[in-house]
Amino acid sequence: MRTEATGITHDHTAHRLRWLAVSLACALASACASPPPPAPPPAAVDSAPVAVPAAEPIHAPPAPEKIEPAPKPRPLRFFTLEEVLVYMTELRSMTPAGLTAELAALGEPGDDVDRQLRVALTLINTRRAADTARALALLQKTDASADTAIEPLKPLVRVLMARLLEQRRLEEQAERQTQIAREYQRKIEALNSRLEAMRAIERSLSPNPMSPGAPPRAPGS
């Protein structure tokens, strides 16, 4: 009987172990087959607007100073007769102050033939006797120059010289006439002074007819 009971007990124990093993296997299989738990929801993002620092105002760079273009320099030399005529036209339209400024800009011509001609043309337009004489002297130097660049302009230079010689002759003649007129005026004033002095002497020598000692005048005298 004990042997049979022991066999029954072993059978029962083995049966329970098999059941536990099957249950455990089913549990493991169920765990593997079940889907994973859902991921936690993302943290809520604060939808409030983020304060953006105000951008600093951008100042436009200052406008560059307006630079006046430099005046176009005159050519160093006259090359054509047309250039000389244009220069002469410019001089005729200048005021006395403008001519003075031009002479100051040109300076002393020295042996520069071009500058000699420019100064002479400027002096011609001042219409002063002293300037006329100086302009003539400069033109004579220009005409005597051996510079071949001035050769095409020498006919004009000689015409200007002839004009200045005639102008100088007329100025000298006018000056002589002015001196003669002044001399005549001085003589006339001297004669008038003498005449007035003689009349004063005559008045002082003539007796006053209203004085007590004066003899009575004859009727009709």
Q: Which residues of 101-120 are buried (b: 16+ CB within 10 A; e: fewer)?
A: ebeeebeebeebbbbbbbbb
Q: By residue range, what is the domain housing residue 113? A: 81-175
pLDDT tens track, the chain, 221 positions: 444 444 445 555 656 666 655 565 555 445 444 445 555 555 544 555 555 555 555 655 666 665 545 444 444 466 678 888 899 999 999 999 999 999 999 988 888 888 899 999 999 999 888 888 899 999 999 999 888 888 888 999 999 999 999 988 888 888 899 999 999 999 999 999 999 998 888 888 876 655 555 555 555 54
Does residue 33 form part of some domain? no
- Indicate whether 195 belongs to any domain: no
Alpha helices in 34-95 (DSSP H): 81-92
Residue 74 counted as domain residue: no
132 Cβ neighbours under 8 A, 6+ residues apart: 123, 124, 164, 167, 168, 171
Determine the pLDDT at residue 69.
52
Any domain includes 211: no
> pTM for this one?
0.49
Domain membership of residue 68 (yes or no) is no
Can you state the angle between helices 81-92 and 113-124, rounded to 10 degrees? 40
Q: How far is CA 202 from CA 41, 196, 198, 199, 205, in A?
A: 148, 10, 6, 5, 5
> Is 140 exposed, middle or buried, given 0-12, 13-18 or 19+ CB atoms closer than 10 A?
middle
Per-residue confidence (pLDDT) for residue 213, from 0 to 100: 53
Asked whether residue 92 is domain-assigned, the answer is yes
In-domain check, residue 204: no
Quick check: is 48 in a domain?
A: no
Contact 125, 86 (CB under 8 A): no
* Helix (H) and strand (E) counts in the chain: 6, 0
Report pLDDT for 45.
47
Q: In total, how many domains does the chain have?
A: 1
